[in-house]
Structure 1
Amino acid sequence: MNPRPRKILLLRWLPGRLMLTRAPATGQSLYLTFDDGPNPGHTPAVLDLLARYKAKATFFVLGSQAERNPGLMQRIADEGHAFGNHSWDHPSFLRIPPAEQCEQIERTDRVIGAYNGGRPISFRPPSGRFPPTLLLRFLRQRRRMAYWSYDSLDYRREPLERMLATIRAQPPVAGDVVLMHDDSDLTTQALAALLPEWCAAGFALRALPD
């Protein structure tokens, strides 16, 4: 298992204003991101851990989940975390027409706008897959996609110790954008082990810059 997929090497050639894969490494910054929430069974525990270690993160929410969980959305905002758009209900953008792609994104933007003052946000395509036409549309709109440079692989649902062993053997470095998901106990357990280690290593855990 490789936390640094080859695809990232190709995406890094795109301009940073269009495709974010890494962020500034200044001050030993590490950028945690969480996809697929907010989830009432798991996001509160993630937020508790982030608060304990004074860490900030970016939550790439699903619009359908955000609409169903306004209290969690407000807590994420109140605790100083950032939002990103991860579509309305996580379809494959390779299988839906352009009009539906736009509706997925715009509908989610409207929900998030109630919690972040309508500020521009990045979009992360479901499963990291998107058609080239969407990238061209974002270029015309001067909007950014946010990818990642380090994949925690938490969605594979491997045993906790195996997941931790992979991350410790190939640890993130300053400037990495770390992909995680706030929809399982595995992520919460991994964070409980990793956050104190990352803080002890001197990382500043930040939300992605606008």
Structure 2
Amino acid sequence: MPELLRRLLPECWWQMPANGRTLYLTFDDGPIPEETPFVLEQLARFNAQATFFCVGDNVERHPGIARAVLAAGHRLANHTHHHLSGWTTPRTDYLADVARCQQALEAVLPAPEARPLLRPPYGRITVPLARLLNEQYQLIMWDVLTCDYDHTLAPEDCLRTAISLTRPGSIVVFHDSLKASRNLRYVLPRYLAHFAGQGYSFDAL
């Protein structure tokens, strides 16, 4: 992400402290039956924990899958209810959509979180909106975007780029979505194997 954007949004987490060999995998846009169970299987193979930034509408449609994510020890987080852009959506509509997603999450969470996590879809959010949301949520961005959703990107190139950009403490974005399926299913197991082989662990935010 551009350095200017990081400076404009200092309340967001872009990466975690590089204390030891730990990576923070995140999965956007689920949960869905076609892809999320595959992700859970791959994470379990490497004893990896992750954070799932959920579209609230998908949580309402597939609460059993959301609960399976929790049962596997992962964390659920807010990605708005309808995957809205913070650049083009009126502020009141965006805030209402975030709140609706949080309600959907709380219907499956064992207890409400004191400070839930929120990732703006596409990373698109205005500075005033970010400051307003930061009163209730911890905003999460990233320093490694795998671009697994990009159909023009060959799976091998997707993997190579993701590995080359990763550093200790990186917050890494994958997508458990139909659009990302081809690259996700190639890249994720190989990415996990590569960094596990180098002694890295994988933790939730």
Aligned pair partner of 1:78 in 46, 49, 71: 71
State, as a whole percentage, how many aligned pairs show the same letter: 33
Structure 1 Cα separation of the partners of residues 53 and 141 of structure 2: 11
Question: Does the CA-based 8 Å contact 2:116-2:136 persist in structure 1?
Answer: no
Deviations 1:70-114 (A, max 9, x none): 110000001110111101111222222111111110001011113
Change (3 A) 1:171 1:200: farther
Task: Note the C-alpha offset of 1:162.
Answer: 1.8
What pairs with 1:136-147 in structure 2 (closer than 5 Å)? 136-139=131-134, 141-147=135-141
Question: Does the CA-based 8 Å contact 2:9-2:130 persist in structure 1?
Answer: no
Letter paired with 2:141:
Y
Aligned pair partner of 1:166 in 124, 141, 161: 161
Change (3 A) 1:12 1:155: farther
Question: Does the CA-based 8 Å contact 2:8-2:127 persist in structure 1?
Answer: no
Structure 2 Cα separation of the partners of residues 83 and 200 of structure 1: 27
Unmatched 5+ stretches in structure 1: none
Aligned pair partner of 2:199 in 197, 202, 210: 202
Residue range with higher mean Cα deviation, 153-162 or 45-54: 153-162
Letter paired with 2:47:
K
Corresponding position of 1:62? 55
Task: Note the C-alpha offset of 1:193.
Answer: 1.2
Aligned-residue RMSD, C-alpha: 1.6
Letter paired with 1:194:
Y
Letter paired with 2:112:
G
1:181 is aligned to 2:178? no
2:59 is paired with a residue of what secondary structure?
helix
Structure 1 Cα separation of the partners of residues 149 and 99 of structure 2: 26
Task: Note the C-alpha offset of 1:186.
Answer: 1.7
- TM normalised by structure 2 equals 0.91
Structure 1 Cα separation of the partners of residues 7 and 43 of structure 2: 28
Deviations 1:100-140 (A, max 9, x none): 1111100010111133311131111111101222112124x
1:90 is aligned to 2:83? yes
- TM normalised by structure 1 equals 0.89
Aligned residues: 199
Unmatched 5+ stretches in structure 2: none
